[in-house]
Amino acid sequence: MKNIAIALAISTLLSNLVHGQTSVSNPIRLQVDSLKSLYAADGFQLVKESPLQMESEYEIPVVLPLTQGTFYQFVFIGEPSSRLYEVRMFDWKERQIIFQQKRWGDVDGNIIAFSYIPPASEYHMMRPVQVNKKQKKNLTGYIMVFKKTK
C-alpha cells in the first residue's frame, strides 16, 4: 500500500510534466486515433489517456482509480522500433493481477490491450515498459483507459 501511495504521488507529478514534453510520433498518433474510433464504436468511453516519455527498460507507474464492477479496457502503445513491450497491473494490495508481453514482430507488435473488471473500488497501478536497443531515452509511449458504457 505504501508503494502505491508513493507511485500515486510520482504519477501525479509525471502527468503534470509529461503532457508538455512528449510529442507523439505519427505512427503512434494514427494507432491512437484508430483505436479510439474502434472502442467508441463498441460502446466504450475514453476515461484517461496520456502520452508517456519513456526510457528503455524503465517502468512508468500510472495510478488509476477503478470502480468495482465496471468493465475497463486498457491500451498501451509503445515505440514501433522497440523490441519488447510489457505491461503489469497491480491492485491496492500490490498483487500482480495482469501481465502481458509482446515482442517486435508479433502481429499486433507495439500494442498491448487487455480488459479487467475490478472486484473492489480502489486504486490500481499500471506499469508499462519497453526495451529498445538503439534508442535508450526519449521513447514515446501512450496509454488509454476506456470503460464500457453500453
Give the separation between CA 73 and CA 86, rounded to whole angstroms. Answer: 16
Q: What are the residue boundaries of the structural domains of the chain, listed by start?
A: 2-148
| β partners of residue 75 | 113, 144
Whether 45 and 67 have beta carbons less than 8 Å apart is answered as no
The full DSSP string for the chain is -HHHHHHHHHHHHHHHHHHHHPPPPHHHHHHHHHHHHHHHHTTEEEEEEEEEEE-TT----EEEEE-TT--EEEEEEE-TT-SEEEEEEE-TT--EEEEEEEETTSTTTTEEEEEE--SSSEEEEEEEEEE-SS--SSEEEEEEEEEE--
Neighbours of 137 (CB within 10 A): 10
Give the separation between CA 96 and CA 106, rounded to whole angstroms. Answer: 24
The predicted-structure confidence for 12-31, as pLDDT tens digits, reads as follows 444 444 444 456 667 889 99
The predicted-structure confidence for 89-138, as pLDDT tens digits, reads as follows 999 999 999 999 998 777 678 999 999 999 999 999 999 999 999 889 98
CATH number of 2-148: 2.60.120.380
pTM: 0.82
